[in-house]
Amino acid sequence: MDTRPQTLARTPAADPASNRLPPLKPGGLQRLAILGLFANVALAGVKLIAGIVGHSYALVADAVESLTDILGSAVIWGGLWIAAKPPDESHPYGHGKAEPLAGLAVSLMVGLAGIVIAVKAVHEIVTPNQTPAPFTLIVLVVVVIVKEALFRVVAKRAKAEGSGAGKVDAWHHRADAITSLAAFVGIAVAVAGGKGYESADDWAAMVAAGIIVLNAFMMGRGPLAELMDADQTPITGRVREVAEKVAGVRNVEKIKVRKFGTEYWVDMHVRVDPDMNVRDAHAVSHAVKDAVRAEIPRARDVLIHIEPARPG
């Protein structure tokens, strides 16, 4: 075996201070969650009062869904706040899992609210009731516009920050807009149809309940997958591509990527020349780590295991 020093260019010796992981910084999603919280409080109050005064159970049901939005926004904000805390001795990987936990909790709350609304809607359908007041339609138009606007703003920010909980919060706003739209249709039919069409309002509440439960299921899939460390295929492919371009790397044997909140932890096995000395192999590993973190800023840390490349 050739024991002469390798001529591979090496990166400068690592400065211990430079290897420290930067603390996570809370993004604008926390501020948007607070904004959503205040908006939900205002809208829930308006819908509840209008539903009671205007004799519309669909609007009351919509208000109940907004009440879950209030709790949901608070939970999402709390999850994002905890997830932003830096690693410590008790949590060396950080607190990122608080974010998908918050998202999953909100999806469960939304699903429960949908079931409660459905049960109440059935009771209202079999019970004689009054035709809703026309002014309730104006309330619902305002609600749909506000909630759709919140959905678009939060969804854009969640995508920019790679936040699963943020996506849940965004779709929570979209679900509220959809249920409000369903309530609008039901009330419009009841108002336009007059006597004999009063139950259209309650059927609209039933449709809204179904939409809420379905949306809760869809919202919970992402956070659950993240908590179960589901495969991060798009990120894995990018990591492999970047690593195999680094000088001294023969190929990458395996890569595992786990998502913690908005960031990723990467474990990988890199193959190098079997005759390479330890110093050069160490330099290659640092070069790979630097390249991956430069290409993927949300790569929180990259753990590299060096292996000898197979002959041929």
pLDDT level of residue 38 (50, 70, 90 thresholds): confident
What residue numbers bound the domain in which 253 lies?
231-308
Whether 10 is covered by a domain: the verdict is: no
Whether 131 is covered by a domain: the verdict is: yes
Q: Is 138 helix (H, G, I), strand (E, B) or coil?
A: helix
Higher-pLDDT residue of 63, 245: 245
Same domain, 217 and 157: yes
Helices H, strands E: what count in the chain?
A: 8, 3
Whether 147 is covered by a domain: the verdict is: yes
Same domain, 114 and 139: yes
Whether 18 is covered by a domain: the verdict is: no
Query: How big is the CA angle at 239 (ends 235 and 242), to the nearest 5 degrees?
Result: 140
Distance from C-alpha of 192 to C-alpha of 134, rounded to nearest angstrom = 9
Distance from C-alpha of 260 to C-alpha of 300, rounded to nearest angstrom = 9
> For residue 45, is pLDDT > 50?
yes
Mean local confidence (pLDDT), 24-36? 67
Same domain, 115 and 244: no
Q: Mind listing the pLDDT tens digit for each residue in 49-100? A: 988 888 887 788 778 777 777 777 788 788 888 888 888 888 888 888 888 8
Which of the listed residues 163, 196, 227 is the one where a domain comes to its end? 227
Distances (CA, A) of 8 to 78, 86, 236, 270: 48, 36, 26, 16
Residue whose token pair is 């589901």: 230
Same domain, 272 and 163: no
**Are 235 and 257 spatial neighbours (Cβ–Cβ below 8 Å)?**
yes
Percent of the chain with pLDDT over 90: 19
**Are 186 and 195 spatial neighbours (Cβ–Cβ below 8 Å)?**
no
Same domain, 186 and 95: yes
Distance from C-alpha of 64 to C-alpha of 207, rounded to nearest angstrom = 15
CATH of the domain at 203: 1.20.1510.10
Distances (CA, A) of 74 to 63, 64, 144, 221: 17, 16, 21, 20
- What is the per-residue pLDDT for 63? 81
Which of the listed residues 193, 227, 261 is the one where a domain comes to its end? 227
Whether 22 is covered by a domain: the verdict is: no
Please name every residue paired with 301 in a beta bridge, in sequence order, or none if there are none: 265
Which has the minimum average pLDDT: 94-98, 230-234, 241-245, 304-308? 230-234
Same domain, 85 and 57: yes
pLDDT level of residue 21 (50, 70, 90 thresholds): very low
- What is the per-residue pLDDT for 288? 95
Q: Mind listing the pLDDT tens digit for each residue in 113-164? A: 888 888 888 887 877 677 788 898 898 899 899 989 988 988 888 888 777 7
Residue whose token pair is 């590993």: 285
Domain count along the chain = 2
Distance from C-alpha of 51 to C-alpha of 182, rounded to nearest angstrom = 14
Same domain, 223 and 238: no
Which of the listed residues 175, 202, 227 is the one where a domain comes to its end? 227
> For residue 249, is pLDDT > 90?
yes
Residue whose token pair is 């990458």: 252
Q: Is 301 helix (H, G, I), strand (E, B) or coil?
A: strand
Same domain, 290 and 186: no
pLDDT level of residue 228 (50, 70, 90 thresholds): confident
Tokens for 255?
A: 């890569």
**Are 304 and 268 spatial neighbours (Cβ–Cβ below 8 Å)?**
yes
Whether 1 is covered by a domain: the verdict is: no
- What is the per-residue pLDDT for 312? 59
- What is the per-residue pLDDT for 100? 87
Whether 273 is covered by a domain: the verdict is: yes
Residue whose token pair is 């798009």: 234
Same domain, 48 and 190: yes
Mean local confidence (pLDDT), 36-60? 84
Distance from C-alpha of 66 to C-alpha of 79, rounded to nearest angstrom = 19
Model's pTM, two decimal places? 0.66
**Mean pLDDT, rounded, of the chain:** 81
pLDDT level of residue 27 (50, 70, 90 thresholds): low
Q: What is the 3-state secondary structure (H, E, C) of 184-253?
A: HHHHHHHHHHCCCCCCHHHHHHHHHHHHHHHHHHHHHHHHHHHHCCCCCHHHHHHHHHHHCCCCCEEEEE
Burial state string for 31-46 with b = 16 or more CB within 10 A and e = fewer than 16? ebbeebbebbeebbeb
Whether 13 is covered by a domain: the verdict is: no
CATH of the domain at 291: 3.30.70.1350
Same domain, 104 and 253: no
Same domain, 200 and 270: no
Question: What torsion, rounded to 10 degrees, do the Cα atoms 148, 150, 154, 156 define?
Answer: 50
Same domain, 193 and 211: yes
